């Protein structure tokens, strides 16, 4: 009987929490979002100009665009999942380890006997399984996400090492390998890039156009308010880590296609790359605001930087210094344009 | 009322599905069926194969998290098993300096006759090497060298400079009649001294061939993933070159994948370390990979031989001296199609 009244009462905190999704501020926020993305696009444009000037023949080729997008696709899928987790105020430090575990589990001799489907199924299920454990520990075990996923990082890497025994597991299933070959390109687009695009579109829709997305933002903005508004915060958190695990599973499969093998060192430091890309993209580390498009732009910026450095034959040390500087610059530029707007 | 059974039936259904998925996945962790890397025991027989005085050898190495280190452990174990007079006390591998020091101290306390140590970090473990030597336990230092010669009785290891030198010389000989030949280098982890040494050897070798120029160098980090990524970039950057030297066969798996994906076959590739997959490819002869330069894991088997000789107070066969040498730098042989059969059993996975 009191149900409708309670719901009405809680309307206010919910909308406060769901700031990104409410109508009253949508226009202003839409503008802000545009500025943020535009500044990222600006950074990307500057990079493209630098690449075009320093290595015109190599950088501006179609094959290079295919290369950059392919190299971005694996970490890109992981970053989309990470964006949801961070938006909800959480963190997932285990993504790299889950990619490693899923990729080695899916490339054991026993799994390879099941062919393409076996590899794909195993990679995805292992990813989802790890996500489930993370989610249960965090949502129902009341563990801090940082600790729970740190534990997963350690144990998933350990298990990956246990399975491989340190060796490189080479994939001999032709149908999997063919997916990475030039012949498999659809209208010039590599299949891995298509998967990345699909994950991005689904991720964007999920975050911006569904109740699930609004709940994610609400939990990240103010979990207590979200709970009072009738959102099952714990279940929502469980789903989010499941989602991140699923993304890791898909990424693991893509990595198997790309590298033609599974190795326990796969996905090294993915957690840092994914978090950095999401933050540069404009997702708040404290939660409550997230943008899939921004994250994807963040990933593309990183990949383009690496590409330009490699094409100009710069040393690793220089690459790392410049990468750090560009992260700082991108965030500063973003801050500045945001302040100018607000 | 009707709800309860339906929920439980669903739970049962999901439960069964979960359990069977779990069972299927568990079955999938097995890596056994394929012929596992046979630890190399085809090296030349030692002078004194006859059983002698009983020797207990303590072996401490880093965590075997990649193929080469794994092969090191296998080589040490299988060599020790060959001798009826050798007992091997092998510790759990540790990458952490403090943990490895603890393990070695345990071996010292157990009073093993000889120690074989592959340090996770040579410099950091010098003190514990000194401690063992002072306790009267001779130390065979494997590959990563201690800071002080007082910390070991004998050092045996690979030659990183020689790897680069031999790779460069092989490529130089292949391209010596080609004008303006271009060479590309895919290095390993740049933070490591050994990578710098390999590059220096490679550059020094190329200096002997004025017609060859190194046009690009990128560093991967010994992983398949990084090998694929960096090689893809190098291929994009260099539309035409004649030879590639890749420092490490593990990352070479990724590099070959990138070459395959880019559809390139207009150059020759030389690998490094001596993985089985690389040797298989060299033998098959259907890829750009034509040779690999060894960094032989069989050194662990030789270290056991040396430790046994030390424990029994003997020298090694073939040398006039009564004692074993203080230092043994192994040769980085170039494995090509012509001699691959000889080295194939030493290839690691």
Which residue of A lies nearest to B34 if distances are taken between CA atoms? A109
Which residue of B lies nearest to A267 if distances are taken between CA atoms? B225
User: What confidence score (pLDDT) does residue A328 get?
Assistant: 83
- B337 vs chain A: nearest CA distance in angstroms? 21
pLDDT for B80 beyond 50: yes
- Spatial neighbors of A149 by CB under 8 A, at least 6 apart, are A91, A92, A93, A94, A134, A138
Q: Do B224 and A108 touch (CB under 8 A)?
A: no
Q: What is the mean pLDDT of residues B70-92?
A: 91
Tens of pLDDT, residue by residue over B320-330, are: 888 899 999 99
Picking from A316, A317, A319, A320 by the largest number of B CB atoms within 10 A of its own CB, the best residue to mutate is A316
Q: What is the mean pLDDT of residues A296-309?
A: 92
State whether the Cα torsion A95-A97-A100-A102 is positive or negative. negative
Who among B63, B224, B233 is closest to A311 (CB)? B233
Query: Looking at residue B30, what DSSP letter applies?
Result: -
Distance CA A17, CA A257 (A): 41
* Residue B155, number of CB atoms within 10 A of its CB: 23
- Parse chain B into domains and list their residue ranges: 55-158+297-318, 160-294
- B248 vs chain A: nearest CA distance in angstroms? 13
Distance CA A180, CA A116 (A): 13
A184 touches chain B (CB under 8 A): no
Q: Do B228 and A105 touch (CB under 8 A)?
A: no
Pick the range with the lowest mean pLDDT from A237-241, A259-263, A325-329. Answer: A325-329
Residues of B in contact with A264 (CB under 8 A): 65
Who among B25, B67, B257 is closest to A260 (CB)? B257
Helix-strand-coil percent breakdown of chain A, rounded to 5?
A: 75, 0, 20
- Identify the CA nearest to B76 among candidates B106, B41, B44: B41
Tens of pLDDT, residue by residue over B130-171, are: 999 999 999 999 999 999 999 999 999 999 999 999 999 999
Cβ atoms B58, B114 nearer than 8 A: yes
Confidence at B10, pLDDT banded by 50, 70, 90: low
- A288 vs chain B: nearest CA distance in angstroms? 33
CATH fold of B55-158+297-318, please? Rossmann fold (3.40.50)
Tens of pLDDT, residue by residue over A64-123, are: 999 999 999 999 999 999 999 999 999 999 999 999 999 999 999 999 999 999 999 999
Distance CA B135, CA B222 (A): 38
B308-318 b/e (C-beta count within 10 Å ≥ 16 → b): bbbbbebbbee
Which residue of B lies nearest to A171 if distances are taken between CA atoms? B253
Confidence at B36, pLDDT banded by 50, 70, 90: very low
Pick the range with the lowest mean pLDDT from B90-104, B253-267, B322-336. Answer: B90-104
User: What confidence score (pLDDT) does residue B94 get?
Assistant: 80
Query: Looking at residue B123, what DSSP letter applies?
Result: G
Cβ atoms A86, A290 nearer than 8 A: yes
Q: Do B237 and A306 touch (CB under 8 A)?
A: no
Who among B25, B227, B277 is closest to A170 (CB)? B277
How far does Cα A338 stand from its chain's mean position? Answer: 24
Distance CA B154, CA B314 (A): 14
Picking from A104, A114, A165 by the largest number of B CB atoms within 10 A of its own CB, the best residue to mutate is A165
Cα atoms in the Cβ-side hemisphere of radius 13 Å centred on A144: 3
A46 touches chain B (CB under 8 A): no
Domains and CATH numbers, chain A: 29-341 (1.10.3470)
Distance CA A283, CA B133 (A): 57
Indicate the pTM of the whole model.
Answer: 0.83
A306 touches chain B (CB under 8 A): yes
Q: Do B67 and A307 touch (CB under 8 A)?
A: no
Please, what is the angle between helix A292-311 and helix A191-209, to 10°? 150
A183 touches chain B (CB under 8 A): no
Residues of A in contact with B348 (CB under 8 A): 167
Distance CA B105, CA B91 (A): 11
B55-158+297-318 shares its CATH topology with B160-294: yes
- B129 vs chain A: nearest CA distance in angstroms? 27
Please, what is the angle between helix A95-105 and helix A270-281, to 10°? 130
- How many CB pairs below 8 Å do chains A and B form together? 149
Q: Do A125 and B25 touch (CB under 8 A)?
A: yes
Confidence at A14, pLDDT banded by 50, 70, 90: very low
A48 touches chain B (CB under 8 A): no
A62 touches chain B (CB under 8 A): no
Q: What is the mean pLDDT of residues A183-189?
A: 91
User: What confidence score (pLDDT) does residue A247 get?
Assistant: 98
Residues of B in contact with A51 (CB under 8 A): none
Percent of chain A past pLDDT 70, that is, above it, reads 87
Who among B28, B215, B277 is closest to A108 (CB)? B28
A105 touches chain B (CB under 8 A): yes
Contacts for A193-199: CB closer than 8 Å, 24+ residues apart: A193/A66, A193/A69, A193/A70, A193/A73, A195/A73, A195/A77, A195/A250, A195/A254, A196/A69, A196/A72, A196/A73, A196/A76, A196/A77, A196/A254, A199/A76, A199/A77, A199/A80, A199/A247, A199/A250
State whether the Cα torsion B314-B318-B320-B321 is positive or negative. negative
* 3-class state of residue B114 by DSSP: strand
- Spatial neighbors of A287 by CB under 8 A, at least 6 apart, are A86, A87, A88, A89, A90, A219, A220, A221
Q: Which two tokens stand for residue B318?
A: 């073939």
Which residue of A lies nearest to B64 if distances are taken between CA atoms? A166
Distance CA A127, CA A132 (A): 9
Tens of pLDDT, residue by residue over B189-223, are: 888 889 999 999 999 999 999 999 999 999 998 89
Distance CA B128, CA B151 (A): 8
Distance CA B176, CA B184 (A): 16
- A315 vs chain B: nearest CA distance in angstroms? 7
To which residue do tokens 């590298």 refer? Answer: A259
* 3-class state of residue B63 by DSSP: coil
Report which of residues B39 and B304 the model is more confident about: B304
Three-state DSSP string of B181-196: EEEEEEECCCCCHHHH
Query: Which of the four CATH numbers 1.10.3720.10, 3.40.50.2300, 3.90.580.10, 3.90.1170.50 does domain B160-294 have?
Result: 3.40.50.2300
Q: For all residues of chain A together, what is the average pLDDT?
A: 87
Residues of A in contact with B275 (CB under 8 A): 168
Report which of residues B48 and A144 the model is more confident about: A144
ipTM of the complex: 0.81
Host H or E run for residue B328: strand B327-329
Q: Do A166 and B262 touch (CB under 8 A)?
A: no
pLDDT for A165 beyond 90: no
Q: Which two tokens stand for residue A5?
A: 């009244």
Residues of B in contact with A267 (CB under 8 A): 225
Distance CA B108, CA B114 (A): 9
Tens of pLDDT, residue by residue over B106-119, are: 999 999 999 999 99
Picking from B192, B236, B248 by the largest number of A CB atoms within 10 A of its own CB, the best residue to mutate is B236
Q: Do A266 and B223 touch (CB under 8 A)?
A: yes
Three-state DSSP string of A235-295: HHHHHHHHHHHHHHHHHHHHHHHHHCEECCCCCCCHHHHHHHHHHHHCCCCCCCCCCHHHH
pLDDT for A52 beyond 90: yes
- B236 vs chain A: nearest CA distance in angstroms? 6
Distance CA B47, CA B70 (A): 27
- B233 vs chain A: nearest CA distance in angstroms? 6
Q: Do A180 and B257 touch (CB under 8 A)?
A: yes
User: What confidence score (pLDDT) does residue B27 get?
Assistant: 67
Cα separation of the two ends of chain A: 43
Three-state DSSP string of A38-94: HHHHHHHHHHHHHHHHHCHHHHCCHHHHHHHHHHHHHHHHHHHHHHHHHHCCCCCCC
Phi and psi at residue B243, to the nearest 5°: -150, 155
Q: Which two tokens stand for residue B32?
A: 């056994």
- B168 vs chain A: nearest CA distance in angstroms? 20
């Amino acid at each position: 009987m009191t149900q409708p009244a309670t719901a009405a009462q809680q309307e206010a905190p919910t909308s406060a929490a769901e700031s990104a999704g409410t109508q009253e501020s949508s226009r202003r926020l839409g503008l802000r979002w545009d500025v943020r993305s535009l500044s990222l696009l600006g950074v990307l444009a500057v990079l493209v100009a630098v690449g075009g000037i320093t290595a015109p023949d190599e950088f501006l080729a179609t094959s290079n665009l295919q290369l950059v997008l392919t190299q971005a696709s694996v970490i890109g899928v992981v970053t989309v999942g990470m964006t949801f987790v961070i938006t909800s105020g959480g963190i997932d430090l285990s993504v790299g380890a889950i990619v490693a575990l899923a990729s080695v589990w899916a490339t054991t001799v026993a799994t390879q006997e099941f062919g393409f489907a076996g590899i794909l199924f195993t990679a995805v299920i292992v990813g989802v399984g790890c996500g489930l454990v993370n989610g249960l520990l965090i949502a129902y075990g009341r563990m801090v996400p940082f600790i729970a996923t740190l534990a997963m990082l350690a144990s998933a890497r350990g298990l990956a090492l246990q399975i491989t025994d340190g060796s490189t597991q080479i994939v001999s299933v032709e149908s999997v390998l063919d997916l990475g070959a030039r012949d498999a390109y659809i209208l010039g687009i590599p299949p891995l890039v298509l998967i990345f695009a699909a994950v991005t579109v689904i991720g964007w829709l999920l975050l911006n156009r569904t109740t699930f997305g609004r709940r994610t933002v609400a939990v990240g903005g103010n979990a207590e308010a979200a709970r009072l508004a009738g959102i099952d915060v714990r279940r929502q958190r469980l789903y989010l880590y499941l989602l991140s695990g699923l993304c890791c599973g898909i990424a693991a499969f893509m990595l198997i296609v790309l590298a033609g093998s599974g190795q326990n060192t796969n996905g090294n430091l993915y957690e840092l790359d994914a978090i950095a890309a999401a933050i540069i993209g404009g997702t708040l580390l404290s939660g409550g605001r997230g943008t899939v498009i921004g994250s994807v732009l963040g990933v593309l910026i990183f990949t383009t930087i690496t590409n330009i450095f490699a094409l100009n034959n710069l040393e690793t040390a220089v690459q790392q210094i410049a990468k750090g500087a560009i992260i700082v610059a991108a965030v500063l530029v973003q801050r500045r344009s945001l302040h100018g707007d607000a | 009322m009707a709800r309860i059974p339906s929920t439980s039936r669903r739970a049962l259904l999901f439960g069964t599905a979960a359990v069977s998925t779990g069972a299927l996945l568990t079955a999938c962790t097995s890596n056994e069926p394929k012929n596992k890397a046979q630890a190399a025991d085809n090296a030349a027989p030692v002078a004194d194969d006859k059983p002698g005085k009983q020797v207990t050898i303590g072996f401490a190495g880093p965590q075997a998290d990649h193929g080469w280190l794994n092969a090191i452990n296998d080589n040490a174990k299988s060599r020790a098993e060959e001798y009826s007079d050798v007992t091997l006390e092998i510790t759990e591998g540790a990458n952490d300096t403090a943990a490895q020091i603890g393990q070695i101290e345990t071996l010292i306390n157990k009073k093993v006759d000889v120690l074989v140590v592959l340090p996770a970090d040579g410099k950091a473990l010098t003190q514990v090497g000194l401690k063992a030597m002072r306790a009267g336990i001779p130390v065979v230092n494997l590959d990563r060298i201690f800071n002080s010669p007082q910390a070991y009785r004998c050092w045996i290891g690979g030659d990183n400079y020689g790897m680069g030198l031999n790779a460069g010389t092989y490529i130089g000989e292949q391209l010596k009649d080609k004008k303006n030949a271009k060479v590309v280098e895919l290095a390993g982890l740049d933070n490591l001294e050994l990578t710098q040494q390999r590059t220096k050897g490679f550059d020094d070798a190329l200096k002997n061939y004025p017609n060859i120029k190194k046009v690009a160098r990128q560093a991967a980090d010994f992983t398949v993933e990084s090998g694929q990524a960096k090689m893809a970039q190098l291929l994009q950057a260099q539309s035409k070159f004649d030879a590639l030297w890749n420092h490490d066969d593990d990352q070479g798996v990724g590099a070959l994948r990138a070459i395959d994906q880019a559809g390139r076959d207009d150059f020759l590739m030389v690998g490094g370390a001596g993985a089985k997959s690389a040797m298989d490819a060299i033998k098959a002869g259907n890829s750009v990979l034509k040779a690999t330069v060894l960094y032989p894991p069989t050194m662990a088997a030789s270290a056991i031989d040396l430790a046994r000789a030390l424990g029994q107070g003997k020298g090694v066969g073939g040398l006039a001296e009564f004692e074993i040498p203080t230092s043994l730098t192994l040769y980085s042989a170039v494995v090509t199609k012509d001699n691959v059969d000889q080295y194939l059993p030493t290839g690691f996975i």
